Amino acid sequence: MRIAAKYGIFHIQVYGEVAGNEALPGANVGLLVQMEPGRGAFDLVGFAQEVQSLSGFVVAAVTELPEDGAAHDVLDL
């Protein structure tokens, strides 16, 4: 959680195939986050890049679920 705090992120949820236990090898990890007021895209991208670098997984961090029409499973961390 230190990485999250560094970028002003205070709540993280996993969404998508990983959350629904349907992920195939190499699947992206979707992270739905809440950020402190005044934080922006640079913080969001920095967080995603740092988590990706540490985990080895491709990470997509968003502040709202994608509007792709799909139902999304969401898990709190």
pLDDT tens track for 50-77? 999 998 888 999 999 877 755 567 877 7
Tokens standing for residue 40: 């922006």
Place of tokens 């922006």: 40
pLDDT digits (tens, 9 = 90+) for 20-45: 677 667 778 889 999 999 999 999 99
Domains identified in the chain and CATH numbers: 2-60 (3.30.460.10)
What residue ranges in 16-77 does DSSP mark as E strands?
29-35, 59-62, 74-76
Tokens at residue 42, please?
């640079």
Give the global pTM: 0.82
